[in-house]
Amino acid sequence: MSIPRRLAIIGSGGHASSLKDAATSAGFTVIGFFITETLDQEGSSSDHKALESLDFNSVSLALGIGTNFTREKVFAAMKEKFPAAQFPPIVHSSAWVSPQAHLGPASAVLAQAAVGPGAHVGVGALINTGGSLDHDSRLGDFASLGPGARTGGNVTIGDRVMMGMQSGIVHGRSIGQDTVIGAHSLVLSDVGALSVAMGSPCTVVRSRKKTETYY
């Protein structure tokens, strides 16, 4: 099935703008930003109706939502509402993705980022500007690498994990789902799920809830 090159972006904040730049550089034509009632209970019903009017044979959708848990929630709602819609991976023209890597639907690889051979980028996962997922590593569904965040090889990062900007994780380590790693932290040993961890070396400072904000 061919992927429509016209693109509607769900969301309108800073990440949506970054995604537009990436999509445009990759040859997509962005037709607009859409706020839905799924994002904001007081949200724009007109935007929701505009989405309903789209022809998904000629328009794809993308997730311009920076917060991991919310991005997953919106993706599920959009898939239920618009089952015919396609969510292609968005890769900035300046990024490098190995031909042996896998990019899941609705994932995004922004400017100057890299994805190594054998790496797996999950559904709705995000590699921000200058981030790097090294060989044979896995970035879980709706997880994110912040700007400049980097991994060694054979790393496993769980669903909805947020690795802060300029953080790193050494070869072969794992991070459990829904964990947040602080900016400039260095992960030298495994970190469990639902944790907030920071420092160099990175240590767990407290637990967190799945839906807790990290900004």
Question: Please, which pLDDT band fits residue 41 given cuts at 50, 70 and 90?
Answer: very low
Half-sphere exposure of 42 (CA within 13 A, CB side): 0
- Give residues with Cβ within 8 angstroms of 128, minimum separation 6: 18, 110, 113, 144, 145, 146, 147, 148, 149, 165
Q: Give the Cα separation of 164 and 210 in Å (integer).
A: 16
User: Would the CATH topology of 6-81 be identical to that of 90-207?
Assistant: no
User: pLDDT per residue over 182-191, tens digit each?
Assistant: 999 999 999 9
User: pLDDT per residue over 22-38, tens digit each?
Assistant: 999 999 999 999 987 66
Tell me the backbone φ, ψ of residue 48, rounded to 5 degrees.
-65, -45
The reply to whether CATH 3.40.50.20 applies to domain 6-81 is yes
| Burial bucket for residue 196 (CB in 10 Å: 0-12, 13-18, 19+) | middle
Q: What angle do CA 173, 177, 180 make, to 5 degrees?
A: 80
* Domain layout of the chain by residue ranges: 6-81, 90-207
User: pLDDT per residue over 119-151, tens digit each?
Assistant: 999 999 999 999 999 999 999 999 999 999 999
The reply to whether CATH 3.40.190.10 applies to domain 90-207 is no
